[in-house]
């Protein structure tokens, strides 16, 4: 437990650290990645380059420091961090590395006059407290996943048993355990972690499960990313029979129990977690509106599958919006970007709905704004990022 004095010291330095946020981030990551090569594979280099991941971590630490008197105010931030850590297998031995680098960066940003031994000791205690919270919560989840039916701990080898081209740029990969055992059931919306060695270097990535897990296999659907290491490897080299290491499914962007009308809105490959959500929701009579936006028909994945569900389930309404008409694919319901008026026309009339959305950041910012303006309660409007969380304003 932190002393009242430590808490006061930490809170008093937060504004200084916030104003030096970029310097804090830069020092911290440069130090950690150069001095501790063992943690390098855990971090996605693209997220480093964009600054999103360093910013998310620094923001997490500062949010914690700001609310150090009332940790319950952190809302779902802690759950988000824990789920991401579990999916990438962050372990207790990694925390002292982050702690040491963070403290050195804090001391450099504050300067020696402010970063007195008392200040640094308060920050050391505060980091230790946060690390203990996360390590404890993560250990409980690792244990739970190891003990659950079909569960496991750490990496487990899976075989690629099927590949399906879903669009010009998305391929689905079906993985079954190499040991022929059962798999851990995933909640609709969860993702798996993957560990690969490419050109002698270990890399890790997350992929949403794009189908329910009842059949005993995990399906992911991956978009080829220009210049992307893992997506291009999977598309070009991962053939049926190959093995891959997977971590157990994780994630808190899951379908909450509710009988309100459900609205699933996706852009591009953001469609993946909405597919098992859609399938799960159709087991009840709940009305479902499925809205998907794609650049054009050529890159629109899973259209036939959703159409077939709509033909079978009268409570499902589906709407497609293409940014452009390629003149070849089946027509969209609307061509252009999804406007607020168009979204209003495709939502159920009553706005007491549960909305889930995912797509490129700009798309998500627009959807969030539109849903708010259209009267959807903020708490019922949920989203996730295919990368570190970022502000959507």
Ligand X SMILES: Cc1cc2nc3c(=O)[nH]c(=O)nc-3n(C[C@H](O)[C@H](O)[C@H](O)COP(=O)(O)OP(=O)(O)OC[C@H]3O[C@@H](n4cnc5c(N)ncnc54)[C@H](O)[C@@H]3O)c2cc1C
> For residues 206 and 329, which CB has a smaller minimum distance to ligand X in the complex?
206
> For residues 105 and 262, which CB has a smaller minimum distance to ligand HEM in the complex?
105
Q: Please give the DSSP secondary-structure letter assigned to residue 209.
A: B
Min dist. Cβ of residue 305 to ligand HEM (A) = 28
Min dist. Cβ of residue 39 to ligand X (A) = 16
If binding is defined by CB under 6 A, does position 95 make contact with ligand X? no
Q: Which are the contacts of 111, defined by CB distance < 8 A and separation ≥ 6?
A: none
Residue of the chain from 16, 46, 137, 159 that contacts ligand X (CB under 6 A)? 46
Min dist. Cβ of residue 115 to ligand X (A) = 31
**In the stretch 98-137, what mask flags binding to ligand HEM with x, by CB under 6 A?**
x-------------------------------xx--x---
- Which of ligand HEM, ligand X, none does residue 53 bind to, with CB < 5 to 8 Å depending on kind? ligand HEM
Report d(CA 358, CA 365) in Å as an integer: 10
If binding is defined by CB under 6 A, does position 84 make contact with ligand HEM? yes
Annotated catalytic residue within 95, 142, 319, 356 = 95
If binding is defined by CB under 6 A, does position 222 make contact with ligand X? yes
Residue of the chain from 225, 252, 279, 307 that contacts ligand X (CB under 6 A)? 225
Contact 230, 194 (CB under 8 A): yes
Min dist. Cβ of residue 205 to ligand HEM (A) = 9
Q: How many residues sit close enough to ligand HEM to count as binding (CB under 6 A)?
A: 26
Q: How many residues sit close enough to ligand X to count as binding (CB under 6 A)?
A: 25
Opening angle at CA 256, ends 252 and 257, nearest 5? 150
If binding is defined by CB under 6 A, does position 288 make contact with ligand HEM? no
CA-CA-CA-CA dihedral for 57, 63, 66, 68, to nearest 10: -90
**CA separation, residue 134 to residues 77, 91, 159 (Å):** 11, 10, 32
Annotated catalytic residue within 64, 127, 138, 142 = 138
Q: Which stretch binds ligand HEM (CB under 6 A): 49-57, 142-150, 219-227, 313-321?
A: 49-57
Question: DSSP secondary structure string, 99-117?
Answer: HHHHHHHHHHHHHHHHS-H
Told to judge if 95 belongs to the known catalytic residues of this protein, a careful annotator would answer yes
Report d(CA 358, CA 286) in Å as an integer: 21
Nearest to 173 by CA among 221, 211, 216, 243: 221
Told to judge if 138 belongs to the known catalytic residues of this protein, a careful annotator would answer yes
**In the stretch 267-286, what mask flags binding to ligand X with x, by CB under 6 A?**
--x--x--------------
Please state whether 83 falls in left (phi above 0), alpha (psi between -120 and 50) or beta: alpha
**CA separation, residue 28 to residues 10, 11, 53, 116 (Å):** 18, 20, 12, 19
Q: Angle formed by the axes of helices 77-88 and 117-147, to 10°?
A: 60
Report d(CA 14, CA 91) in Å as an integer: 27
Report d(CA 82, CA 283) in Å as an integer: 30
Active site residues: 95, 138
| Contact positions vs ligand HEM (CB under 6 A) | 39, 42-44, 47, 53, 56-57, 60-61, 80-81, 84-85, 88, 90, 94-95, 97-98, 130-131, 134, 387-389
| Contact positions vs ligand X (CB under 6 A) | 44-46, 49, 191, 205-208, 220-223, 225-232, 269, 272, 386-387
């Amino acid at each position: 437990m932190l002393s009242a004095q430590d808490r006061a010291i930490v809170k008093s330095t937060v504004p200084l650290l916030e104003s030096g946020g970029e310097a804090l981030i830069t020092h911290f990551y440069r130090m950690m990645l150069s001095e501790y090569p063992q943690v390098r594979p855990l971090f996605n280099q693209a997220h480093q380059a964009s600054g999103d991941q360093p910013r998310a971590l620094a923001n997490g630490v500062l949010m914690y420091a700001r609310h150090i008197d009332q940790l319950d105010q952190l809302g779902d931030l802690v759950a988000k961090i824990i789920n991401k850590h579990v999916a990438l297998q962050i372990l207790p031995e990694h925390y002292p590395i982050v702690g040491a680098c963070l403290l050195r960066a804090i001391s450099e940003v504050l300067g020696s006059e402010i970063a007195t031994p008392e200040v640094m000791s308060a920050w050391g205690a505060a980091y230790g407290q946060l690390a203990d919270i996360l390590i404890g919560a993560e250990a409980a989840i690792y244990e739970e996943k190891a003990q659950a039916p079909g569960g496991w701990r750490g990496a487990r080898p899976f075989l690629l048993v099927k590949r399906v081209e879903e669009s010009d740029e998305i391929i689905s990969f079906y993985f079954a355990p190499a040991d022929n055992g059962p798999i851990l059931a995933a909640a609709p919306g969860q993702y798996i972690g993957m560990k690969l060695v490419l050109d002698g270097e270990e890399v890790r990535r997350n992929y949403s499960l794009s189908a329910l897990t009842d059949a005993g296999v995990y399906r992911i659907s991956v978009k080829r990313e220009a210049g992307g290491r893992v997506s291009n490897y999977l598309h070009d080299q991962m053939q049926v029979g190959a093995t891959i290491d997977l971590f157990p499914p994780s994630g808190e962007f899951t379908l909450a129990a509710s009988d309100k009308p459900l609205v699933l809105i996706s852009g591009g490959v953001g469609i993946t977690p909405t597919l098992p959500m859609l399938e799960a929701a159709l087991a009840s009579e709940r009305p479902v509106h499925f809205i998907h936006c794609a650049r054009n028909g050529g890159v629109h994945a899973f259209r036939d599958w959703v159409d077939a569900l709509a033909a079978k389930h009268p409570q499902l309404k589906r709407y497609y919006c293409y940014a452009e008409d390629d003149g070849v694919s089946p027509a969209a319901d609307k061509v252009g970007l999804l406007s607020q008026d168009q979204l209003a026309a495709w939502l159920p009339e009553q706005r007491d709905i549960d909305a889930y959305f995912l797509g490129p950041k700009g798309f998500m910012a627009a959807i969030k704004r539109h849903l708010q303006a259209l009267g959807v309660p903020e708490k019922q409007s949920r989203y996730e990022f295919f990368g570190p969380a970022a502000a959507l304003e």
